[in-house]
Structure 1
């Protein structure tokens, strides 16, 4: 295990990829168990691996990579939970100060959600199905792959492309709306 840590410290991308493959799912379910949130789990896992790579020079060869990775993830998870708590408090105080703000925001959110769902429906059938299973139902990539008889990597590719396509289409819609308003 010490050699894995040393290899990552030295910038060995192949070892890093190996660690990612070994611990991605374990880390995801660890955070999911703690937070009960697929979104927070995905965010925590991604940020943890990013931090692991960015701060690799500070890794200790006295501890195995698993312990260090899970320590990073715990720190990231706590950070994200704090940010979410601050956000929730901010929303609650805004609702107390301006009750009608909530109604205006609800209308805006409903309109935006309608645009998002319309954009989702524009995706190809398989991509739309994969995206909905992942983002709306919160299923992990392996479960989606099993249900659809495709590889987890294919699931990941569909999700990445769906997100990219949705961002592009929503950006175009936003630009058109701004032009109409001004």
Structure 2
């Protein structure tokens, strides 16, 4: 990603477009924690405009996430100063590490919800085998004995469940 910043620093419009496409949702999610949706849109736009306008001052060793987070925090504060009677307490904005942790927790919860919905769409027997293996921690042999099926049938159900889940969740990645 640091190569992307180097290209932006040189004025590469395509690199800037890539940066925006990769990170605008993340910046937007951060902004919506402190502003409504329309205001967050404005703040996101301000963040990327600021990065473009100050691209020549970007240090070579800066981390992309740190640049985006600090610029977002700065633009959010600027927006509050211009549009709110009560200024934003910058101490109420979490540190980058805390925000990253919260963001990761949010994404993990969303992925678990999607996976759960996909598991519920498995055929009943396959869902039962999947649940016994992944949630109950039973071995292939224990599942086979419990359900009175062969060990190879257990393996087949788990393989087909994995393929189905991989296919179903593919569109949610990224």
Query: If the length of structure 2 is used for normalisation, what is the TM-score?
Result: 0.47
Q: TM-score, normalised by structure 1?
A: 0.45
Decide which structure has the larger Cα Rg and report it: 2
More helix by share: 1
